[in-house]
Structure 1
Amino acid sequence: MNDAESSRLTLLRFLERVQGRDLSRTRRWIADEERREAERRVGEARRPSAPGWLIERGLDRINIVAVHTGECWDPGKRVKPASREQAIDALRQQVPACTKCRPDTALGIEV
């Protein structure tokens, strides 16, 4: 065996070690990603369902200032979950409906 063959074999052994480390690292990344995905699924399963309707209160937290659907993208900071009946009652008492999510339309009430 000459030096060229032995040096080629040495390089191939080195490549094998490097690729082995790369494979181990990739397997760790895969395991970490699988763990994160499992945690995300558990979190979604435990998340409470969104309320159907929201009542927004004023700064004094007494006056009702708007009614929203539970899926409204702009409900304000002072909202509380409400039942369908509470939302309907608020709208009938002239509480404004959100102009973005239109709960009055969703409830079939004309304001």
Structure 2
Amino acid sequence: MFDDLPDDVPRLETLRTWHAMWVTRIDAKLAQARQREAEQARAAAAREERRPDWLLDYGQNRDRPPTAVHVGDCCMAGSRVKGVSVQAAREALAAGVAACTLCRPDTELGMFDP
């Protein structure tokens, strides 16, 4: 089956040494890759834990009143958002701040008009 290998001991030992060296290098690189993936997974889990449940979107000017309320993981939330409590989200919706039409925080909070 493997008759393409040399028949003499010195060349076979050389091949074995060469491949053992490569296996060692591959194992080291594999360990680094596994550690990097584990660190990325831990960082993603930490980011997930810090994500607020409700967001107030301030549009282009953070000094003005909020322009919309979003569920915490809404992809339409802008870059100028502030995480708020469920009570603050309800108060903002009751005060007339628009509910995001994509994530529907008013429906999530049970504040929609039938």
TM-score by length of 2: 0.79
Partner residue, 1:25: 25
- Seen in structure 2, the aligned counterparts of structure 1 residues 60 and 27 have a Cα distance that, compared at 3 Å, is closer
Could you say which structure has the larger radius of gyration?
1
Equivalenced residue count is 106
Letter in 1 for 2:110: G
What SS does the corresponding residue of 1:76 show, helix, strand or coil?
A: coil
Partner residue, 2:55: 54
CA distance in 1, matches of 2:23, 2:110: 60
**What do residues 44-75 of structure 1 show as CA deviations (whole Å, max 9, x unaligned)?**
45444210100011333212110000010110
Q: CA RMSD in A?
A: 2.1
TM-score by length of 1: 0.81
* 86-95 vs 56-65, greater mean Cα deviation: 56-65
Structure with bigger helix share is 1
Which sections of structure 1, spanning at least 5 residues, go unmatched? Answer: 1-5
What SS does the corresponding residue of 2:82 show, helix, strand or coil?
A: strand
Identity across the alignment (%): 37
Q: Say which of 41, 55, 69 aligns to 1:67.
A: 69
Q: Which runs of 4+ in 1 moved over 3 A?
A: 44-48
Letter in 2 for 1:56: D
Contact 2:59/2:78 (<8 A) preserved: no
- Seen in structure 2, the aligned counterparts of structure 1 residues 80 and 41 have a Cα distance that, compared at 3 Å, is same
What SS does the corresponding residue of 1:64 show, helix, strand or coil?
A: coil
- Displacement of 1:40 after TM fit? 2.7
CA distance in 2, matches of 1:85, 1:39: 35
